[in-house]
Amino acid sequence: MVDSTSLQAPDLPDTMSPGWSEDRGPLDSVPRYGVYALRHGVAIVNGLSIGELAGRAGGGVETIRFYERRGLLDEPRRTASGYRDYEPGFVDRVRFIRKAKTLGFELREIGELLALACDQGSTCADVRRQAEAKVADAEARIGELQRIRRALLDLAADCHGDLPASSCPFLDRLDGLEEL
């Protein structure tokens, strides 16, 4: 039989409170429960799982894995059980990648931007050149889309709507040899 006096909690030092674990540090507050680890007397937050990272960054788990394979995200540390354990800074990096994609940057170009951000020798002029190249690319695509629009409007103008589809001038011109 166990003596109930031996089960009493030890006295906590003045610097410790019930929200602290003597060997692990402060307990994390809501919304993410967890335990801090102490390194050199500084509390370190436990990392994020891949699902938590994806949720906070607004992406999917497979997207995170894809970015890792493409080298846009560093390989995260692993837990003792082998799970990915991401530092909170990964959230900002995934958001950066997603924002750059919405501006039309390809993954290769995003990698170049990330490399510029990490390179002590790079300047804003280097980043500006990347942005200007992307603007030129966007203008070329806009020109192509305007050409497509004009061609579609011309083709649609030939369609009067009262003929059977088998005699439609729009379809005939698409089927013909002439360039649009």
Whole-angstrom Cα distance, residue 85 to residue 48? 5
Whole-angstrom Cα distance, residue 159 to residue 154? 9
**Residue at token pair 């089927």:** 175
- Can you give the pTM of this predicted structure? 0.64
Q: Which amino acid is at 157?
A: A
**Sign (positive or negative) of CA dihedral 167, 168, 170, 171:** negative
> What pLDDT does 154 receive?
87
Q: What's the pLDDT tens digit per position in 87-140?
A: 999 999 999 999 999 999 999 999 999 999 999 999 999 999 999 999 999 999
Asked whether the beta carbons of 170 and 152 are under 8 A apart, the reply is no
Instruction: Please identify every stretch of the chain with a pLDDT value under 70, giving residue numbers as ranges.
Output: 1-46, 177-180
> What pLDDT does 45 receive?
53
**Other CB atoms within 10 A of residue 54 CB:** 20
> What pLDDT does 21 receive?
44
Asked whether the beta carbons of 86 and 53 are under 8 A apart, the reply is yes
> What pLDDT does 60 receive?
94
> What pLDDT does 67 receive?
96
Which residues are bridge partners to 21 per DSSP?
25
DSSP code at position 85: E
> What pLDDT does 157 receive?
87
